[in-house]
Amino acid sequence: MSQQRHPLFMPLIFVGGLIFGFGLGFSHMARPEVVLNFLQFEDFGLLFVMGGAAVVTGIAFAVVPRLFDRAPLTGDTYGRRLKSFDRNILIGGAIFGVGWGLSGICPGAAYASLGVGNVTILWALAGMFVGAYIQGYWRSHRTASETSPTGAD
Amino acid sequence: MVTELFAPALYESLFPAGISRYAVGGLLVGLGAVVIYLGTGIPAGASTFLESTLSYVSDQSRFQRYVSSRDWRVVFTLGIIAGAFVYALTFQSGLVSSGLYESGTTGQLYDLGGVSLWLTDVQPWRLFLGGILVGIGTRIGKGCTSGHGVCGVGSGSKTSIVGVITFLIVAIGTAQVVMALGVSP
């Protein structure tokens, strides 16, 4: 799909990111302190952020495929985000949980945090790239050394 | 607000900053994902950017499989940064206000050319070490708070619901332990 993209593809992605990032700023999710306050049971507002967002996507993912056949800018059919379940969901989720609970920041909120002026968040972003590289390096080599066709999600 | 009717004291302790900034912000996060979905059919997540961007500098097969999406993921991330900056220009700077927006007391505000910017008080070692674990965990676990939490849950995906419950419970436990150990901020 990379060749011959619709001229509005990138602008639309940018506008979507703009709204997404504005929402993360407005909801204070770009502030690790506010996320930590949720995890420490001092402010349960985060539930409304995740819930509010999931309600909007839930309605769209249910309704849009019934109204339209294909996405105008890619020609792709509308699917839902369904990933296969395996133990990696639990292992990865638990590792992410420790990191999120320690730092109060997740990837999207970290990008937004940079936008609200929080240059200190570069520590977290650097860490995320290091972490992504470590797992990618390890999994690339493990896949290459394995001959059995298991695993690749 | 209907929720304030049942028990004001309980509401105040559960939601000391109210709920409107969270709910409105969440709706906008969802709307941003829906705009992209409507135009392209892509249910976007934020954490794949970490690996897809590494494909520019690393030949590892795990990163190279994201080559076809790496350019728009950079644009998505730049959009998120820009959108948060628009929030900083408007609501964070006090240029725009609304009954739905509650400014906070966390961290430090500083002024740069008339724009109020914000800095966290959370210690760099927590951000860096936590970031490493977030980078490993989100990629092994096939998604983060936006991929699983927003798009996956919105898709009714059992995998994502299990993923969200897993990282929520572990994160709560971790934050409680860190707090109990006296680490602050």
Residues of A in contact with B23 (CB under 8 A): 48-49, 52
Does residue A45 lie within any of the structural domains? Answer: yes
Q: Do the chains contact at A55 and B154, CB–CB below 8 Å?
A: yes
A66 pLDDT exceeds 90? yes
At residue A40, the 3 state secondary structure works out as coil
Asked whether B118 and B92 are in contact (CB, 8 A), the reply is: yes
Asked if the Cβ–Cβ distance from B133 to A99 is below 8 Å, we say yes
Output DSSP code: residue A20. H
Per residue in B110-122, pLDDT (tens digit) is: 999 999 999 999 9
Categorize the per-residue pLDDT at A152 as very low, low, confident or very high, splitting at 50, 70 and 90: very low
| pLDDT-based confidence at residue A13 (cuts at 50, 70, 90) | very high
Average pLDDT rounded to a whole number, residues B161-185: 97
Q: Are A105 and B87 within 8 A, CB to CB?
A: no
Q: How far apart are CA B111 and CA B46, in angstroms?
A: 29
Contact B84 A42 (CB under 8 A): no
Cα separation, B69 vs A57, whole angstroms: 21
Q: Report CB contact under 8 Å: A16, B47.
A: no
Is B95 at the interface with chain A, CB within 8 A? no
Instruction: Find all residues with CB under 8 Å of B160, minimum gap 6, and list them.
Output: A81, A83, B143, B147, B148, B149, B151, B152, B153
Residue A151: pLDDT over 90 = no
* Three-state SS annotation for B114-166: CEEEEECCCCHHHHHHHHHHHHHHHHHCCCCCCHHHHHHHHCCCHHHHHHHHH
Test the B interface: residue of A13, A66, A114 with most B CBs within 10 Å: A13
Q: Which residues of A touch B122 (CB under 8 A)?
A: 32-33, 36, 103-104, 120
Of the pLDDT bands very low, low, confident and very high (cuts 50, 70, 90), residue A21 is very high
Give the residue-averaged pLDDT of B13-33.
Answer: 97
Q: How many residues does chain A have?
A: 153
ipTM of the complex: 0.95
Q: What is the pLDDT of residue A1?
A: 47
CB contact under 8 A, A140 and B60: yes
* pTM, to two decimals: 0.94
pLDDT in the model for residue B7? 83
Contact B33, A24 (CB under 8 A): no
- Dihedral angle computed from the Cα positions of residues B45, B176, B165 and A24, in that order, rounded to the nearest 10 degrees: -30
Q: Measure in Å the smallest separation between the Cα of B6 and chain A Cα atoms.
A: 17
Q: What is the pLDDT of residues B88-112, one digit of tens each?
A: 999 999 999 999 999 999 999 999 9
Total structural domains within chain A = 1
Closest CA to A33 of B77, B185, B19, B39: B185
Q: Closest-CA residue in chain B for A117?
A: B117
| A71 three-state secondary structure | coil
Helix/strand/coil for B108: strand
CB A21 within 8 A of CB B32: yes
Domain residues for the domain of A47 are 9-145
**Residue B11 forms contact with A (CB below 8 Å):** no
pLDDT at A135 over 50: yes
Encoded tokens for A35: 């996320």
Q: Is the pLDDT of residue A109 over 60?
A: yes
